[in-house]
Amino acid sequence: MTATNPHAGLPITDDDAAIAAALEDVSIPTLLLSLVHMTGDPSYIRGAIRPRMLVLNEVQGFLPEEDKAEARRMALEAIKAFRDGGCVLPPPPSPELVREMMSWVACEDVPEEYVPMILEEMELDGVDARRVEVHADAAAREAFPVVVIGCGQSGLLAGIRLKEAGIPFTIVEKNPGVGGTWWENSYPGCRVDVGNHFYCYSFEPSDHWSEFFSQQPELQRYFEDVMKRHGIEPHIRFGTEVVQAVWDEPSATWAVTVRGPGGAEEVLTARAVISAVGLLNRPKLPDIPGMADFEGPAFHSAQWDHSVDYAGKRVAQIGAGASGFQIAPTIAPDVAHLTVFQRTAQWMFPNTNYHARVGDGVRWALRHLPFYGRWYRFLIFWPGSDGALMSARIDPEWEHQDRSISARNDFTRQIFTDWIKSQVGDDEELLAKVLPDYPATGKRTLQDNGSWLRALKRDNVDLVREGIDRIEKDAVVTVSGERYEADVIVYATGFQANRYLYPMHIVGRGGVVLAEQFGDEPAAYLGITMPNFPNFFCLYGPGTNLAHGGSLIFHSECQMRYVSGCVDALIRDGRRSMEPRPEVAAEYRARHQAEIKQLVWSHESIKHSWFKNADGDIHVISPWRLVDYWEWTKRPDLADFAID
Ligand code: NAP
């Protein structure tokens, strides 16, 4: 083990009291795992102290207080010895021991097939395995300019990987700054709902988050810092939008038309295009009669008008999915009155840490204790990923399809229902409004620490579950004729999720237009490449949104490794172009559809969901286990491609 491994921890120089104070704050199972690295002694996980259960966002393993105290006592001794010995790490644990450590903390036998993926995540050797080298000389690389569309998390990642590989690239970003969704969504209360110690780049330290689920300004700053640290800024054209991209067969290049801040258009030539435009990017406004007649300010959640002072005003919030769920509790204390129009009730997952700050001790541990941050990541990764997919499978034999999809899902429904009842059980009318009538987890499940229902119980907040008939100059009117007067309307009504790459005009080989090829059923092989679109790669493309769990940044890292492998294959042997063979793409699409139809999100009781297209079919969600997707995207199989 060398000291250069970024996950091995910075040297410890703190005095005993400071270390002891830090240990009061930390995750005890994670601490014990770190001690195994620090000492080379597996007995820390082979003794009497054993986590009872691993549940998402609970990081103490339900250990009794006396076990925690004993663990802290042992840890203090070990850390002091480590510090006094010059912080020299013993050799890393063997893969067998790592698997034992995983199983110990997961409280279940972690299958062998997960070990390589988790080992890669752990980076015990300090090697970033998702970084791909391009095996070609500088001249060949120079002759392969790439255009990346978008500079959110995936576009920035693409830039970092291309820079590492020595490939010239330009990132075209329509916003004036970096961050994509975390640039645009600045509405009050906006925060991530995948734990930040997993929702971050695997190759960047994660010891700086001030909250476990950061708010938008901190996330945007993170991407800005990463951009600067990796020297990506000079490659980005901000305030510039891609209008169209047209494939030119004779030169095997893409002509990418961009419109700059002043409106002037320019054509960039690229050997490959990487689309990193995101999925939830183009706001969707509802089509309600009279919207244009409203005389007060009205705006979409993703286009929050910060010049509007909502304090003391009557606000109508139309839509209460993930965005609305965060907005209402945040603005409720300040407004005169808030009326929330919610078409479909939402299931929510109890998470007491949702608004919690990361304590100083945890930050110290993340920074100094060997592999503490990696194991902490695993603690979020494991219970929040493939296990949840198992629970999403519809059991056709299950007899209570009216309320759940399986015995397991019925149990989840019970837990979620109890959580809701524990908060509003004393208010029958509100309870009836907030209990969903479709299977648990059937739409995006929201993280909740009680703030949503607390807000709805306020005297100045009303929840309306009735349809909206029209909007008048100063009110929203429901189908029963009830008028709700408002000074401001917030549309938290979601995004045009099924229109991938909209509104860009992408023209592939033989004049095929991508929007027409997609129609209402967008598909891409592994969510990345499409027939007829040579050297065109999608990050977060069709069928790759994660509904069961996991972090989209992890997914993007898988996708970008695959794309880098394709770029390497093209440059290395001087190939002109590659696109997936139609039969390979068709087989994948059929498999994707067959799989997704068996999962909870397809359940017929779910009438409104951005996961579904107009026909009720799902083309935006991944039905795959992360371990499978990770395996499939490790490197491209060139036999899947038509290569010129
Ligand atoms: P959303 O979940 O699609 O919610 C849109 C809301 O507007 C829903 O309540 C929807 O009702 C309602 N609505 C849409 N059209 C309507 C109409 N014509 N009339 C009445 N109501 C209408 O959109 P979102 O809240 O912006 O979230 C979208 C996705 O972004 C999330 O699922 C999540 O993936 C992501 N997101 C994540 C976070 C986070 O990480 N914390 C935060 C925000 C968003 P129905 O439910 O009946 O369709």
User: Can 141-282+497-587+603-622 and 291-347+397-491 be said to share one CATH topology?
Assistant: yes
Rounded to an integer, the average pLDDT of 593-611 is 96
Q: What is the pLDDT of residue 390?
A: 87
**Does the beta carbon of 551 sit less than 6 angstroms from any atom of ligand 1?**
no
Ligand 1 nearest atom to the CA of residue 324, by list position = 25
Q: Which residues in 108-176 belong to E strands, given as ranges?
A: 146-149, 169-172
pLDDT above 50 for 558: yes
**Does the beta carbon of 465 sit less than 6 angstroms from any atom of ligand 1?**
no
Ligand 1 nearest atom to the CA of residue 322, by list position = 25
**Does the beta carbon of 324 sit less than 6 angstroms from any atom of ligand 1?**
yes
Half-sphere exposure of 526 (CA within 13 A, CB side): 30
Q: Which residues in 560-643 belong to E strands, given as ranges?
A: 578-580, 641-643
Ligand 1 nearest atom to the CA of residue 319, by list position = 7
pLDDT above 70 for 2: no
Degrees, nearest 5: CA angle 473-468-609: 130
Q: What is the pLDDT of residue 573?
A: 87
Dist CA 194 CA 57 (whole Å): 9
**Does the beta carbon of 344 sit less than 6 angstroms from any atom of ligand 1?**
yes
Can the peptide bond before residue 168 be classed as cis, meaning omega within 30 degrees of 0?
no
Residues of the chain with pLDDT > 90: what percent? 96
Q: What is the pLDDT of residue 642?
A: 98
**Does the beta carbon of 281 sit less than 6 angstroms from any atom of ligand 1?**
no
**Does the beta carbon of 319 sit less than 6 angstroms from any atom of ligand 1?**
yes
Q: Check: CB of residue 602 under 8 Å from CB of residue 197.
A: no
Count of residues in the chain = 644
Identity of the residue numbered 444: R
Instruction: For residue 3, name the pLDDT band (cuts at 50, 70, 90).
Output: very low
Distance 322 CA to ligand 1 centre (A): 5
**Does the beta carbon of 232 sit less than 6 angstroms from any atom of ligand 1?**
no
Taking each helix axis as running N to C, give the angle between helix 372-381 and helix 28-39, from 0 to 180 degrees, rounded to the nearest 10: 140
Q: Could you give the 3-state DSSP secondary structure of residue 452?
A: helix
**Does the beta carbon of 636 sit less than 6 angstroms from any atom of ligand 1?**
no
Ligand 1 pocket, mutate which of 214, 323, 606 (most atoms under 8 A from CB): 323
Q: Check: CB of residue 477 under 8 Å from CB of residue 483.
A: yes
Number of Cβ atoms within 10 Å of the Cβ of 53 = 11
**Per-residue pLDDT reduced to its tens digit, 177-188:** 999 999 999 999
**Per-residue pLDDT reduced to its tens digit, 341-371:** 999 999 999 999 999 999 999 999 999 999 9
What residues contact residue 170 under an 8 Å CB cut-off, 6+ apart?
145, 146, 147, 148, 235, 236, 237, 268, 270
What residues contact residue 206 under an 8 Å CB cut-off, 6+ apart?
196, 197, 200, 366, 373, 376, 377
**Does the beta carbon of 608 sit less than 6 angstroms from any atom of ligand 1?**
yes
Burial status of residue 334 (CB atoms within 10 A of its CB: 0-12, 13-18, 19 or more): middle
> Residue 414: what are its φ and ψ, rounded to 5°?
-65, -45
Closest C-alpha to ligand 1, atom 35: 322
**Mean pLDDT rounded to a whole number for the chain:** 96
pLDDT above 90 for 205: no
Residues of the chain with pLDDT > 70: what percent? 100
Buried b / exposed e along 297-321 (16+ C-beta atoms within 10 A):
bbbbbbebeeebebeebbbbbbbbb
Bridge partners of residue 468, in order along the sequence: 478
Rounded to an integer, the average pLDDT of 500-527 is 98
Instruction: For residue 425, name the pLDDT band (cuts at 50, 70, 90).
Output: confident
Closest C-alpha to ligand 1, atom 5: 493
Rounded to an integer, the average pLDDT of 188-208 is 95
- Can you give the residue ranges of every domain in the chain? 16-110+354-384, 141-282+497-587+603-622, 291-347+397-491
Dist CA 520 CA 59 (whole Å): 42
Q: Could you give the 3-state DSSP secondary structure of residue 191?
A: strand
**Does the beta carbon of 612 sit less than 6 angstroms from any atom of ligand 1?**
no
Ligand 1 nearest atom to the CA of residue 185, by list position = 43
> Residue 118: what are its φ and ψ, rounded to 5°?
-70, -35
| pTM exceeds cut of 0.85 | yes
Of the candidates 509, 510, 526, 506, which has an alpha carbon nearest to the alpha carbon of residue 518? 506
Q: Check: CB of residue 441 under 8 Å from CB of residue 259.
A: no
Distance 510 CA to ligand 1 centre (A): 38
CATH 3.50.50.60 fits 291-347+397-491, yes or no: yes
150: left (phi > 0), else alpha (psi -120 to 50), else beta? left
Dist CA 261 CA 271 (whole Å): 25
> Residue 438: what are its φ and ψ, rounded to 5°?
-135, 165
Closest C-alpha to ligand 1, atom 19: 286
List the strands of the sheet with 314-318, edge to edge: 298-300, 488-491, 314-318, 337-341, 461-464
**C-alpha 251: how far from chain center:** 37
Q: Check: CB of residue 259 under 8 Å from CB of residue 265.
A: yes
Q: What is the pLDDT of residue 412?
A: 95
**Does the beta carbon of 300 sit less than 6 angstroms from any atom of ligand 1?**
no
Q: Dihedral of CA 447/451/455/457: which sign?
A: positive
**Does the beta carbon of 280 sit less than 6 angstroms from any atom of ligand 1?**
yes
CATH 3.50.50.60 fits 141-282+497-587+603-622, yes or no: yes
Distance 281 CA to ligand 1 centre (A): 12
Q: Check: CB of residue 442 under 8 Å from CB of residue 262.
A: no
Between the CA of residue 342 and those of 50, 403, 450, what are the distances in Å? Answer: 44, 20, 18
Dist CA 464 CA 640 (whole Å): 51
* C-alpha torsion angle, residues 142, 147, 151, 156 (rounded to 10): -30
**Does the beta carbon of 197 sit less than 6 angstroms from any atom of ligand 1?**
no
**Per-residue pLDDT reduced to its tens digit, 55-80:** 998 999 999 999 999 999 999 999 99
Bridge partners of residue 483, in order along the sequence: 477
Q: What is the pLDDT of residue 320?
A: 97
Number of Cβ atoms within 10 Å of the Cβ of 444 = 18
**Per-residue pLDDT reduced to its tens digit, 264-300:** 999 999 999 999 999 999 999 999 999 999 999 999 9
pLDDT above 80 for 1: no
